[in-house]
């Protein structure tokens, strides 16, 4: 059997290593959760930090909800062999979450809710790029296939 990837690209468990950019995408999607942790760590400025990024409480709660698949994805990476069926579908779960997030941001822009700073527009662009990368990057797609879960 010939390998599509070099043996160095597999970890000690025989799984194809996840690309570094995948980890960044998970952090990008879980950004509201990360902000919540940072706000909790800085008790005095926590409310100010949350108000800076999420002046509308409804968008904060929606951001937390949309970050759940990414937060679970971070945990699930350690259980790729134990729960292979869940793992194989998780790339699609992350893509749907990103698509919902993009639709929500686009709807807000169509309603005339323009952000005060360029940061939300930049994050929307990163979300779009992340969605395209999740769907097109061959090595990442292979990381979710069962035949790349064990090296022989």
pLDDT tens across 39-87, in order? 888 877 878 877 777 777 788 898 899 999 999 999 999 888 889 899 9
Q: Could you tell me the residue range of the domain that residue 75 belongs to?
A: 16-148
Q: What is the pLDDT of residues 98-136, one digit of tens each?
A: 999 999 888 888 887 766 777 778 888 999 999 999 999
- The per-residue pLDDT for 49 is 77
- The per-residue pLDDT for 108 is 80
Residue 1 lies in a domain: no
Q: Distance (Å, rounded) from C-alpha 148 to C-alpha 14? A: 8
Residue 114 lies in a domain: yes
- The per-residue pLDDT for 148 is 60
Split into its structural domains, the chain has a count of: 1
Q: What is the pLDDT of residues 20-40, one digit of tens each?
A: 999 999 999 999 999 888 888
| Residue 152 confidence class, pLDDT cut points 50, 70, 90 | very low
Residue 47 lies in a domain: yes
Residue 109 lies in a domain: yes
Residue 33 lies in a domain: yes
Residue 1: is its pLDDT beyond 60? no
- Using alpha carbons, list the distances in angstroms from residue 115 to 52, 53, 55, 57, 77: 12, 10, 10, 15, 34
Residue 9 lies in a domain: no
Residue 82 lies in a domain: yes
Residue 40 lies in a domain: yes
pTM of this structure: 0.84
């Amino acid at each position: 059997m010939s390998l599509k990837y070099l043996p160095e690209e597999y970890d000690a468990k025989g799984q194809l290593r996840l690309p570094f950019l995948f980890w960044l995408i998970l952090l990008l999607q879980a950004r509201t959760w990360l902000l919540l942790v940072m706000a909790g760590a800085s008790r005095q400025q926590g409310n100010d930090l949350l108000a800076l990024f999420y002046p509308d409480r409804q968008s904060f709660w929606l951001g937390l909800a949309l970050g759940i698949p990414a937060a679970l994805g971070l945990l699930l990476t350690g259980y790729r062999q134990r729960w292979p069926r869940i793992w194989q579908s998780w790339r699609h779960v992350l893509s749907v979450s990103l698509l919902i997030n993009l639709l929500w941001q686009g709807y807000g822009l169509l309603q005339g809710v323009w952000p005060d700073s360029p940061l939300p527009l930049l994050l929307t662009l990163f979300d779009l790029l992340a969605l395209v990368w999740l769907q097109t990057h061959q090595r990442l797609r292979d990381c979710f296939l069962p035949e790349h879960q064990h090296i022989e």
